[in-house]
């Protein structure tokens, strides 16, 4: 009995050992990007509100852009508080080249707005290569 049990256990152990070494096959192909036609507003518009809360609280009553004498792009946005309370939001600007690639980004700046008030935020590009821009407004945390 002992002579038959040892070879049987050896074969079973070897089978378990080699079965555990199998690795799964991974797909290594190239893939197309997911469609982003739903959330690509930053590629198509000059001002975006980055959350539903900001969309409820802030509106833009006007945009202005002009070239400075040195060729830099200056943009301004009139933001209006739609709330009946004082709010604080943050705004920044992504300056882009003619193809829409970001070449300059300003830091977010705080904008304090009283009840139903309007505030103007201004941004100036760092160089004369900016052709387009997107002003982004987010809520403060």
The answer to whether residue 51 is domain-embedded is yes
Domains contained in the chain, number: 1
Whether this prediction's pTM lies above 0.75 is answered by no
The answer to whether residue 135 is domain-embedded is yes
The answer to whether residue 15 is domain-embedded is no
Residue 113, beta-bridge partner list: 87
Non-local (6+) Cβ contacts of 77 within 8 A are 47, 60, 62, 63, 64, 91, 120, 121, 135
How far apart CA 90 and CA 37 sit, in angstroms, is 26
How far apart CA 37 and CA 66 sit, in angstroms, is 30
The answer to whether residue 68 is domain-embedded is yes
The answer to whether residue 103 is domain-embedded is yes
Residue 18, beta-bridge partner list: none
CATH number at residue 105: 2.60.40.3230
8 alpha carbon, distance to own chain's centre: 61
- Domain residues for 113? 45-139
CA-CA-CA-CA torsion for 124, 126, 127, 131, nearest 10 degrees? -50
The answer to whether residue 19 is domain-embedded is no
24-35 pLDDT, tens per residue? 677 777 877 776
How far apart CA 125 and CA 141 sit, in angstroms, is 27
Residue with tokens 């000059």: 46
pLDDT tens for the chain, 141 residues: list them. 556 677 767 777 776 666 655 566 777 778 777 766 667 777 778 999 998 999 999 999 999 999 999 999 999 999 999 999 999 999 999 999 999 999 999 999 999 999 989 999 999 999 999 999 999 999 987
Q: Which of 62, 68, 88, 83 is nearest to 128 (CA)?
A: 68
> Does residue 87 contact residue 59 with C-beta atoms inside 8 Å?
no
55-71 pLDDT, tens per residue? 999 999 999 999 999 99
Return the structure tokens found at 69: 């004498």
């Amino acid at each position: 009995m002992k002579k038959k049990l040892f070879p049987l256990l050896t074969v079973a152990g070897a089978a378990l050992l080699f079965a555990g070494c199998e690795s799964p096959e991974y797909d290594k192909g190239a893939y197309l990007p997911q469609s982003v036609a739903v959330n690509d507003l930053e590629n198509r518009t000059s001002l975006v509100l980055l959350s539903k809360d900001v969309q409820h609280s802030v509106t833009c009553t006007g945009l202005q852009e002009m070239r400075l004498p040195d060729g830099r792009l200056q943009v301004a946005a009139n933001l209006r508080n739609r709330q009946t309370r004082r709010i604080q939001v943050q705004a920044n600007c992504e300056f882009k080249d003619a193809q829409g690639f970001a070449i300059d980004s300003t830091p977010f700046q705080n904008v304090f707005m009283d009840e139903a008030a309007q505030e103007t935020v201004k941004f100036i590009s760092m160089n004369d290569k900016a052709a387009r821009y997107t002003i982004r407004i987010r809520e403060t945390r």
